[in-house]
Amino acid sequence: MIYGIGVDIEEVGRIKAVIKGRESFIERFFSKAERELFAEKRFNPETICGNFCSKEAFVKALGTGFRGITMKDIEVLRDELGSPYYQISGALAEKLKDKGFKWHLSLSHTAQTAVAFCIIEKE
């Protein structure tokens, strides 16, 4: 059964402007594993923007916003084929523990925008 859906779209230029010369933005909102991914991708603004909007899409699907959790609790990583997936940790993992949720992510971007679509299922 579908519990919730969420979609978010972000302008790459906006994220590019925020990260330019400011590591604090990346440190504040992204986990160590995500920062390693960004380094592998040479801090490509499209990748960073995609991860950012994926987190927004997740909390929209959950229906809670970021109340009681941080953006670092939602990691957006890539599998061996490059497909994005969510890795949940911290306060959010505790909150969702034993709830029977399963989540799905679709992520796409152009040079101008990134869009993420999340579906959360409940058993």
The predicted-structure confidence for 37-84, as pLDDT tens digits, reads as follows 999 999 999 999 999 999 999 999 999 999 989 999 999 999 999 999
Domains held by the chain: number: 1
Tell me the average pLDDT across 25-39. 95
- Of 16, 60, 99, 104, the active-site residue reads 60
Q: Is 109 assigned a catalytic role?
A: yes
3-state secondary structure 58-87: HHHHHCCCCCCCCHHHEEEEECCCCCEEEE
3-state class (DSSP) for residue 11:
strand
Instruction: Give the CATH number, domain containing residue 7.
Output: 3.90.470.20
Q: Report d(CA 45, CA 64) in Å as an integer.
A: 27
Is residue 13's pLDDT more than 90?
yes
Domain extent, residue 99, equals 2-122
In this prediction, residue 14 carries a pLDDT of 94
Residue 123 banded pLDDT, cuts 50, 70, 90:
confident
In this prediction, residue 36 carries a pLDDT of 97
- Of 20, 72, 104, 109, the active-site residue reads 109
Q: Is 104 assigned a catalytic role?
A: no
